[in-house]
Every structure is written in C-alpha cells, then in structure tokens.
Structure 1
Amino acid sequence: MGRQHASATTSPSPADRLASELQSLKSGSGLTYARLSERTHYAKSSWERWVNGKQFPPRDAVQSIASVCGGDAEHLLELWRLADSRRITFTAPGAAPAPGTTGPEAAPAHGGGPAEDADSPCPHRRQAALLRRVALLSLALGAGGVLAATGRRPFRRGA
C-alpha cells in the first residue's frame, strides 16, 4: 500500500532537461567553469549555478555556451523557451501580483542592479526591490506631508 511520488513517474521538467543538456555540453567540451567564464561575459559562479540547475540561465547565456562549446543552439534555445514558459511567478501570500508579472517571467539580464532585482526570478530579490520602492515612496510622501503641515512650499523661486 505504498504511495508513489509523482517525481518517480513523471519525466524531468524542461528546466531540468535544459540543465542536463548544459552539463553534457560543458563536460563534452572539457572546459572548466573558469575557462567558460573567460570565453563568455558571465562569471564562473553563474555558470556553476546554471549548469547544475540551481538557477535558471538567461537566454543569452544558453546561446553563449552553445557557441563556445559547439552545441546545437537551436535545440538548446527551444529547451530554454519551453522551460521559461513553465516558470512560476512567486508573490508573497495575500499580496497581489506586481503589474506585468502574471505570466511567465523572462530571465533577468546579467548585472543584478536594483532595476533588475525587481524582475529577478528569486522571490527574495523581488521582495527586497518592492520594499525599497515602498520605503522611497513613504519617504517622499512623508517629506511632502511635513512641508504641507508647516505651510512651506517645496520649491521657492526668488523672494
């Protein structure tokens, strides 16, 4: 009367298949993560996360590894599109999704600046970006309220 786990009876997800293909391509090329990094504009730590399936890779990275390692770019990009279309957008419990995040997300561009954090697949980065925006808005509204309460105008031109 044992219960089977769904993962034992289903095929790997498209993201898992993509990671496996990236791993095979990297292994077949004989390149280390450091060499892969030297030949592309991505860090070796990023390659390690993408190839091992710890993080979803950007489309350009998939195209880069295919080019550098001599893989079938069309096949890899098709796997990437399929995996990307099935990715889940995370929101905090009880929170409404942010505008433009109701469907599958595009992978973030490399760089990781504050603007890109809001589009990150990592829910913690998106939440941090949202909190920063709320804090800035609160600060601006608070400053406006203080100015209004004291009867001062925010900008005075020559008296």
Structure 2
Amino acid sequence: MDRVLTSGGAPKDPADRLSEELQSLKSSSGLTYARISEHTHYAKSSWERWVNGKQFPPRDAVERIAAVCRADERHLLDLWSQAEACRTQAAAPGVAVRASAPAEGDAGSPDPRQVALWSLTVLALALTAGLARSVVQGRELRRGTLPGGL
C-alpha cells in the first residue's frame, strides 16, 4: 500500500485521500453537485459532505460517481476499502471514532421522514385494530353474545 504523506510527514488518512480523489473527479468532470445528484440519486448536500470530507460516503455512492465521471472504479473502491478498514479498526473499544451523523439521501442511513412515516403508519394500524375490536365487542354486548358469559 502506497503511503501519501501530509506536509507534516505523517501518513494521510485513507478517508482524506478518498475525499481528495472525489474532489478531483468532480472538478475534472465539470459537473455540479446537482448534476451528480441527478445521475446518482443521492442528495446534492450528501455529495457536498462526501467530496469535502465532512462525512464518509457509502460504497454504492463511490461506485456511482465513478460510473458518472467515467473514472477508474477499482482505484476508488480500493481507497474506499482502505478508509473503511481504518474506520472499522477505529470503532474498536477504547479507540475514538471520527463522528459522522447519517446524512439525508444516504443509502445506508434511515431518512428521519421515512422513520416518522412508518411510525405513524404502525400507530394508525394499531388504532384501527383497537377501534375495530371495540366495535365488535359493542355489537356482541348489545346482542348479549359477549364471550365469557358477560
């Protein structure tokens, strides 16, 4: 594995190298974040965070930008794998991890709006089931056929 050094002489973080590659790809392609977003189905705000190194991109996003920019996918995925390996090692107990909140449009992170929608759907189904049961019990009570001899 080749080691890229920063001006201080320390090896560059693979995530930083990946970010630099993504910046270079974006610049050389001439595409805006909005155009990349249209071609990859990830939010332009997510691309801005990934390209500028504010957040680590999902593998699928790296594959997609390589295809859109007609870049060497294998090289980008090698960088992504190295960075992911470092992140995984850093996640070991007792080691600090570079924080990164789930981003809007990320394939691997749940969209808060989607979570809220699912929660409301489950709540509506539960309320509907409870109401239906109450209606049935009310009818049975009026008829005198409530189970349990009440």
**Interval of TM-score (by shorter of Structure 1 and Structure 2):** 0.5 to 0.7
Q: Once the two structures are superposed, what CA deviation does each residue of 1:3-44 show, in whole Å capped at 9, x if it has no partner?
A: xxx971212110000000000001000000000001111000
Q: Which amino acid aligns with 1:84?
A: E
Q: Summarize the alignment of residues 110-125 of structure 1 with structure 2, pairs less than 5 Å apart.
A: 110-113=108-111
**CA distance in 1 between partners of 2:84 and 2:7 (Å):** 20
The answer to whether residue 91 in structure 2 is matched with residue 89 in structure 1 is: yes
**CA distance in 2 between partners of 1:7 and 1:13 (Å):** 13
Structure whose alpha-carbon radius of gyration is higher? 2
Which residue number in structure 1 is paired with residue 24 of structure 2? 24
SS at match of 1:8: coil
Q: Once the two structures are superposed, what CA deviation does each residue of 1:49-99 show, in whole Å capped at 9, x if it has no partner?
A: 0000000000000000000011100000010000000002287x9xxxxxx
TM-score if structure 2 supplies the norm length?
Answer: 0.58
The count of residues paired between Structure 1 and Structure 2 equals 98
Which residue number in structure 1 is paired with residue 101 of structure 2? none
Distance 1:46 1:90, change over 3 A: farther
Which residue number in structure 1 is paired with residue 80 of structure 2? 80
Q: Which amino acid aligns with 1:34?
A: A
**CA distance in 1 between partners of 2:107 and 2:36 (Å):** 18
Greater RCO (Cα-Cα under 8 Å, separation 6 or more): 2
Q: CA deviation at 1:111?
A: 4.8
Which residue number in structure 2 is paired with residue 50 of structure 1? 50
TM-score if structure 1 supplies the norm length?
Answer: 0.55
Q: Which amino acid aligns with 1:59?
A: R
Q: CA deviation at 1:48?
A: 0.2
The answer to whether residue 37 in structure 2 is matched with residue 67 in structure 1 is: no
Q: Considering fraction of residues, name the structure with more helix.
A: 2
Which residue number in structure 2 is paired with residue 109 of structure 1? 107
Q: Once the two structures are superposed, what CA deviation does each residue of 1:86-137 show, in whole Å capped at 9, x if it has no partner?
A: 002287x9xxxxxxxxxxxxxx7345247xx9xxxxxxxxxxxxxxxxxxxx
Distance 1:17 1:37, change over 3 A: same
Percent identity between matched residues is 61
Q: Summarize the alignment of residues 29-40 of structure 1 with structure 2, pairs less than 5 Å apart.
A: 29-40=29-40
**CA distance in 1 between partners of 2:20 and 2:37 (Å):** 19
> Structure 2: which 5+ residue stretches go unaligned?
1-5, 95-105, 116-146
Q: Summarize the alignment of residues 134-149 of structure 1 with structure 2, pairs less than 5 Å apart.
A: none
